[in-house]
Amino acid sequence: MFFEKDHITSYEPPTLAVYLFTDEAGKQFILLDGYEPDFSWNAFSEAVVDITRTLQASSLTWMHAIPFPIPHTRDIGVTVSGNRHDLIDEYSEWKPQTEVPGNVLHLLEYKMSGYGVPVAGFVLLVPHYLGDSEMPQVALKAVELVSRATGLVLPSDSLREAGKQFLTKLEKQVQENEELQKLIGNLEAGYKNSELGPMRAPISKKSPEMPSADQIAEELEGYLMQMRRGENENDE
């Protein structure tokens, strides 16, 4: 963040810190918030583990969000990782397992699980066309999931009100934008045709089958024949 005064610019560096908070029922919890480190993930995760063990944290719950082809007219999709199988069975779109790019929180999740700490990692699937917007519904979903996983009593009234205002503005923009209407309609059609049900994200849970060596050779041969045919036509 930059601050300008009398042509002098100062810089406030990004922070990554641990905070101690109290929920509305008087229960204390630790919040790790800030930018993901670019390197030294092992040292970072070990430091966080030491802090949480020193403070005798009883569980670990983390949140992340990624853009996904899901319409805002549907519920926010969720995937769950960790050793909280009750939460995985209840919420996760991908189960029993899948492979995704990892982040430092996955490493922290792995290390905390090694100490027998209950761990749940929630990744929220945000409509990709709203990825650059501050969508209160995503924050509200995160608060609800944290409360479900930890029993913490967290305020959410302001998020609910902000969410209503956000949807009102969004619907007005959709009505004025034919391309956005078409995009949302296509996403909705994908849900209606999905065997996973109307409230489940259209995510394929089956890994694609790898082609055999013969299939690859046949495909390559066909491609080369097309290339040669095109060269002959150009020569003529």
With b for 16 or more beta-carbon neighbours within 10 A and e for fewer, the 193-211 pattern comes to eeeeeeeebbbeeeeeeee
Tell me the per-residue pLDDT of 3-52, one tens digit each, with 9 for 90 and over: 444 555 566 778 888 899 999 999 999 999 888 888 899 999 999 999 88
Where do the H-state alpha helices sit in 55-98? 85-91
Per-residue pLDDT, averaged over 152-167, amounts to 91
Instruction: Give the model's pLDDT for residue 233.
Output: 60
Residue 70 predicted with pLDDT over 90: no
Instruction: Give the model's pLDDT for residue 227.
Output: 61
Sign of CA dihedral 37, 79, 132, 4: negative
Least Cα distance to 146 among 74, 91, 71 occurs for 91
At 193, the pLDDT band (50, 70, 90 cuts) reads low
Residue 232 predicted with pLDDT over 70: no
At 236, the pLDDT band (50, 70, 90 cuts) reads low
According to DSSP, the β-strands at 119-127 and 77-82 are antiparallel
Tell me the per-residue pLDDT of 103-119, one tens digit each, with 9 for 90 and over: 899 999 999 999 889 99
User: How many other C-beta atoms can be found within 10 angstroms of the C-beta atom of residue 143?
Assistant: 17
Instruction: Give the model's pLDDT for residue 188.
Output: 77
Q: Which fold has domain 2-201?
A: Rossmann fold (3.40.50)
Tell me the per-residue pLDDT of 78-89, one tens digit each, with 9 for 90 and over: 989 999 999 988
